[in-house]
Structure 1
């Protein structure tokens, strides 16, 4: 896009592409891209060198809650690619945590990107943590779940560690088959208390209990109104 839409007057990249759509009267595509050109999402596809990780902090959170649901997968992929680019450019120990990874994996390009990153991240000292509430979103071959090919399973196969928390009765059989769990452990996953889980490493299984310190609990359960008068 940056090459094809380069013009003598300097119009290039996404900005030039969007301007060309307006000039050509392609209102349908232009309308779809407007949030990324002039709206609140304009920094995601900016041609002006805006770095979402400028002055990189110890913890950076990309909060997508206020985006329209149909825009979140694209924004999540852009944020993930930003971290990937930073890792490739300046390798140092980092961890990228992707919550609700299925939202990216339901699109072919997103699924391919995530699997590729899972295979190559270690070379750039980048650790990956993928989170999903329903593991069937990554395991199911049901075409209605829209996971492309076997990308979900490929993502899991590249994970050195997998943590299974309490499972729903509708999902536990699929989980048991995918991770080769005996019926005893499947039953345990149905009733294990909050904070307990099954840690899977290569060839081993460990029942564990996760206990947060007071400081960790305060961060995880942060509520702004607690500090309104402080």
Structure 2
């Protein structure tokens, strides 16, 4: 059953996303933001790969396989992201096994969000990891050229039963798509708000491996 927190955050995100897609106003410092949080991330797992270069999925030659796990948040969030990027980039598959067979893609789970081991007392309702309940990305998740090429689990909802909001779902997908560290309107303030959209859009306009200045 959908919860009120989902309904409220979905409505807010939906309106903000529509406004941004109408305006398409990308701040001048967007590439600078990406240089810090994608190219030279300090906290995210992507910091170990292709330093100083753009890291993202290849959506030009193939779609990203996805198992939504019958999660209404995942379905709505993926559709919103495709509208933002003005391209169908997700290949929605019927099972987790289908994604595993492709050896790349995103798998949504429910009830397995892994918190930060350094802050065990803080409830976590979403994370991206190498498996259910895994706090870290898989080894060799990103190729030397900056292409994300692995299987990532997007774990929504805490094992204790606390549910992830729609904003949290958007936020975790943002991490999985290459947004490493937090920035304004992406973990700095709200989980995912207006300023998130131009940054994600700009990342997928840059070539894989683009060298930030």
Quickly name the TM-score band, shorter chain normalised.
under 0.3
Q: TM-score, normalised by structure 1?
A: 0.24
TM-score normalized by structure 2? 0.25
Instruction: With a CA cutoff of 8 Å and minimum separation of 6, indicate the structure with the bigger relative contact order.
Output: 2
Structure showing greater radius of gyration is 1
